[in-house]
Amino acid sequence: MTIRVLLPGFGNVGRRFCRLLEKSENLEESGRKITLVGVATRERGSLWSDEGIPVGKLLEAERQTRRVDALSLPGVKKGIPVLEMIREGNYDILAECTSGNLKTVEYDPGFSHMKSALERGKPVATTNKTAVALKFGELEALSKSSGVAWHYDGTVVVGTPFLDYARTTLSEAGIRAFEGTLSSTCNYVLDSLIEGASLDQALMDAQRSGMAESDPTLDIEGWDTAAKAMIVAQALMDAPCPGLGSFPVRGIRGLTRATLAEARQTGGKIRLLARIVRSAEGVELSVGPELLPPTHPLSLLFGPTNGGVILTEGLGEVCFSGTGSSPRQAAYALLQDIRKIVRAGGKR
């Protein structure tokens, strides 16, 4: 008995996911071995094998040639279009790892991939932040109407799996509001600024450590946090959420020397905060830098560490924190989501 996984997207996360599969040669959930049957990229080919693709050989072939379809083995088919695999292939779970574009508000191909799978009754696990932020409502409605699971813990603060916990455990306590830091890059850069570094220097350090993207604009200008805040709002509050561009978003450029000096003097932190508040109409969102007092729970976190405070009716404030975000952690979250799907028999 195997769990047959189809993986569109073989970039930083998809590759890491395959490494996790490779490390655990006999990776099982509920007695079923997790097997890769399909993989697809935009420009570097695609593979399908009914018998399962040997991930170690796939990783090695891709490492040597940069192409996914460099692997030639009996029974391995090449060049099947990804949508054809999703609509017609024999698989159990879609693991969606392609990228969208927040700058151009482009949620495809990820949205179409997930929609097509759910319409066929195939469960979905994804790390695709842009598609989930922008098309959450449609994907959630499809999952509800079909009764098929979709999980997206790999989209937000992937080193700290709080979404699933909050959704399953805290929602009955009545979630009223959320405030949190959702960008490791911004946390790290802000601490460096308080210590006296320039923005350029702090960004260069963050890039050198592999934390910041080569183009960190979306992080620094707050759009990455805004997209993640939209996912948190929709996942935890189950209410209509304003679209990207319809709520205030301020980044961390232009912090004044006076604010940085005040943070130094008080021992507080400056953080790019995502705020979500339940309102009569749905939820209100905002993203912007704030000077937090030293007693604030988020002032206790250092460097890239992310964290949040969830305000509930029944339990008061519940805080969480955890390591930042990396492809390895995203891949781990994806694998955990796949395990959850298997344990629930694919049902939501």
Residue 204 class from Cβ within 10 Å (0-12 exposed, 13-18 middle, 19+ buried)? middle
Q: Which is nearer to ligand NAP, 181 or 312 (CB)?
A: 181
Q: Which is nearer to ligand NAP, 131 or 341 (CB)?
A: 131
Interface residues with ligand NAP (CB under 6 A) are 8-14, 40-44, 82, 97-100, 109, 127-130, 154-155, 158, 325-327, 330
* Closest separation in Å from C-beta 97 to ligand NAP: 5
Q: Which is nearer to ligand NAP, 154 or 251 (CB)?
A: 154
Query: Long-range pairs for 83-89 at CB < 8 Å and ≥24 separation?
Result: 83/112, 83/113, 83/116, 85/6, 85/8, 85/38, 85/40, 85/46, 85/48, 86/6, 86/8, 86/113, 86/116, 86/117, 86/120, 86/122, 87/116, 87/120, 89/6, 89/37, 89/38, 89/48
* Closest separation in Å from C-beta 141 to ligand NAP: 21
* Closest separation in Å from C-beta 191 to ligand NAP: 20
* Closest separation in Å from C-beta 45 to ligand NAP: 8
CB 186 within 8 A of CB 272: yes
- Single out the residue of 29, 16, 27, 59 nearest to residue 329, CA to CA: 16
* Closest separation in Å from C-beta 172 to ligand NAP: 28
Q: Which is nearer to ligand NAP, 158 or 194 (CB)?
A: 158
Q: Which is nearer to ligand NAP, 106 or 138 (CB)?
A: 106
Give me 332's structure tokens: 């781990």
Within 13 A of 26's CA, how many CA atoms are on the CB side?
3
* Closest separation in Å from C-beta 36 to ligand NAP: 14
Q: Which is nearer to ligand NAP, 189 or 292 (CB)?
A: 189
Handedness of CA 5, 8, 14, 19 (dihedral sign): positive
